[in-house]
Amino acid sequence: MLSAEDNLLLTQVGKGTPCGELMRRYWMPVAVAKEISDDKPVKRVRILGEDLVLFRDGKGRLGLIPEHCPHRHASLYFGFIEDDGLRCAYHGWKFNVDGECIEQPYERANSPLMKQACQTSYPVQQLAGLIFAYLGPAPAPLLPRWEMLVRDDGVRSIVVLPPHRCNWLQAQENSLDPTHTYWLHARLFERALKDRPEDRKPWAADLAYFSRPIESYEFEFCREPAWSGIRKVRTYGGDRPQKESGHPAIFPNILVAPQGPKLTMHFRVPVDDENLAIYWVEFQANVDGSRVKQADEDIPVSWLPDPLQPDGDYRLDHFVYQDQMAWETQGRVFDRTTELIGMGDRGIVMYRNMLRQQIQIVQEGKDPDGVIRDPALNDMVRLSLNSELNKLAHEMAAAK
């Protein structure tokens, strides 16, 4: 249980809030690169409570600047893309990718307004078919080159989840929750797919894996040079007993998880205090280790539809929807002042403590965990995950 004050401390992400300032120290995905196409080189982005516009100018440079024009606040989303910037559709003021105002039609030459109209611009970089942004203080740290994003011994795909109507912490706490997989996933799948044997097939591995009884679970802090987090390790019983090697929740807002034959990295991006965007990058290694050249434009992208039905019920026939139901029904910002914490929630308590400690580190003017500035650490950030989990899931699925 948290005090109301603590609940706010750990959930608010706006500029100037303690947790918002912590979250601004990390690069986060804001778009799939394909969304910024030649046909539509502009996208509205709301992240950490800020309304921004992401655009590619006529020369192919990316920019991320406040959505509302500093003149009289019309949305720049409807502006004109030009070779050197984005021009507001209202009176034609023009901004380059660095946020500088470079033209003000019908104003006096050398007017001080030109300087006053310069906007903030946030650094953006493209990697693995996603566009990442950094909203924190300069100098920006390095964009982490996670192994799933840069390995070339397999293929990548991207999944964009439906918008989640809840605070980001609900999703991240779920990553430290080892017991929910039995009821929320295994048993809910059984119920949702009871009369649909064909639809069950793609989930066979997950069903087999998570249907086993959980005999015990433990949590470990991971402290690596380039990242830190918490690993949850379950021991299963039943006909296929096994102690997991454990996959980590990476601080502050990433989960790494096996999904069938793939390893997936889930980026939970706070849109604001009450909304969350989630991007997955999936990576499937080639069994023979052979290399693949996969250009960003060749990475397949799937967009999952919203599971919420008009009558307020959720579709529960997908792993993602089961979690989404649980997180959203906790409330837009889960009121932790009335929760009842049990032994299964120990990992969540560890994570909250970590979050408090890292907020404090930022308040002291230092870099929090997982901010990478040394290029030697960033050639490829390995997570040293073994594929035991995937292998077992597949064997179990095949045995069914």
**Residue pointed to by tokens 């906790």:** 330
- Contacts with 37 (C-beta within 8 Å, 6 or more apart), sequence order: none
Q: Is 107 in the site for ligand FES (CB under 6 A)?
A: no
Q: Which of 32, 36, 88, 276 binds ligand FES (CB under 6 A)?
A: 88
Nearest to ligand FES of 69, 226 (CB atom): 69
Q: Does 323 bind Fe ion (CB under 5 A)?
A: yes
Binds 91: which of ligand FES, Fe ion, none (CB < 5-8 Å by kind): ligand FES
Token pair for 325? 């139901």
Neighbouring residues of 295: CB distance < 8 A, sequence distance ≥ 6? none
Q: Does 78 bind ligand FES (CB under 6 A)?
A: no
Q: Name the minimum Å distance from CB 61 to ligand FES.
A: 21
Q: Does 72 bind ligand FES (CB under 6 A)?
A: yes
Are the C-beta atoms of 235 and 215 separated by less than 8 Å? yes
Query: Alpha helices of 304-379 — where are they, by DSSP H?
Result: 319-329, 346-363
Give, in order, the Cα–Cα distances in Å from 208 to each of 129, 160, 194, 203. Answer: 32, 26, 15, 9
Residues 6+ positions from 338 with CB-CB distance below 8 Å? 1
Q: Give least dist CB 85 to ligand FES, A.
A: 13
Cβ 287 to Fe ion shortest distance, Å: 27
50 near Fe ion, rule: CB under 5 A? no
Q: Assign 385 to helix, strand or coil.
A: coil
Report if residue 173 touches Fe ion, rule: CB under 5 A.
no
Interacting residue with ligand FES among 91, 187, 200, 240 (CB under 6 A) = 91
> What is the closest distance, in whole angstroms, from the C-beta atom of residue 331 to Fe ion in the complex?
18
| Region from 32-40, 70-78, 144-152, 155-163 binding ligand FES, contact rule CB under 6 A | 70-78
Cis previous bond, 252, omega within 30 = yes
Q: Using DSSP, state whether 358 is helix, strand or coil.
A: helix
Residue 321 to residue 143: CA distance in whole angstroms: 30
Stated as kind and residue range, the H or E segment containing 150 is: helix 147-150
Q: Which of 26, 27, 55, 93 binds ligand FES (CB under 6 A)?
A: 93
Name the binder of 323 from Fe ion, ligand FES, none, CB < 5-8 A by kind.
Fe ion
| Nearer CB in complex with ligand FES: 67/220 | 67
Tell the smallest beta-carbon distance from residue 65 to ligand FES (Å): 12
How many CB atoms within 10 Å of residue 334? Answer: 19
Least gap, CB of 182 to Fe ion (angstroms): 10
- The yes or no reply on residue 65 touching ligand FES (CB under 6 A) is no
**Contacting positions for Fe ion (CB under 5 A):** 323
